[in-house]
Copies of this chain bind each other. A is one copy, B any other.
Amino acid sequence: MGSESRCENCIIRQFNSLRAMTKEELKQVSDSKTSKIIKKGEAIFEEGEKLNGVFCVREGVSKLSKLSSNGKDQIVKLATKGEVMGQRSVIAEETSNLSAVAVNDMKLCFIPKEAIVNTLHKNPDFTFEVLRLMAHDLREADDVIVNISQKTVKQRIAEAFLYLKSNYGEDEEGYLVLTLSREDIANVVGTATESCIRIISEFKKKGLLKSSGKKLGILDEKKLKDLAEGF
């Protein structure tokens, strides 16, 4: 087994709470973890499922969503390289309130909850680090609430593209690296797929976005920003 398969040597760790673990703790995590490969579209866990551990994202992106009674999926968060999924449920000892599905091909590490919970009770630095990141997630959730309830669909879609650019970047030709389907974008902003498609078409006509195959790119960031702010 190559040394990069050990948590101690994993660079991803630097982006999440595991960086606050001691060498000993990391060794324990590394010994108990398993790696998983998940293909685009496959589920990692389902809403209501009891999680026996957390998932550390090494490659790819996962959408964390919740099904509402009317059958629509609301995407609450996108989890990327370095992020840990399922922490909330493990900590609160509740079943998962969200489903996780791979947006593209992914590599994950599954860490059994014992290794995590143990450290949570012993290493305050680690616990604090998890807390700090969760505080950040909570702020983001608050922002989403305000955005959804106060901004128009058009504003939220504009914002979504700005978010995709700033979080996942664009390729050499100026197309967004993370390609989401119109349906996924609709589920992020909380609207009907048709409304989303219509507004994206409008943005393309107005020269704010460009497209090539499945890829979408931002042409006029300034105008998108103005739009998102309500001008």
Contact = CB atoms under 8 A, between A and B. Distances in A.
A72 B152 CA distance: 13
B135 A88 contact: yes
Say which size band chain A's interface belongs to: 35 or more
A91 B229 CA distance: 29
B91 A149 contact: no
A1 interface: no
A121 B125 contact: yes
A134 B229 CA distance: 30
A131 B127 contact: yes
B74 A146 contact: yes
Nearest to A71: B150
Contacts of A76: 142, 145-146
A128 B191 CA distance: 37
A195 to B, nearest CB: 12
Interface stretch (A92-100, A102-110, A163-171, A214-222): A92-100
Top 5 closest A-B pairs, CB basis?
A: A149-B190, A68-B150, A141-B141, A92-B135, A127-B127
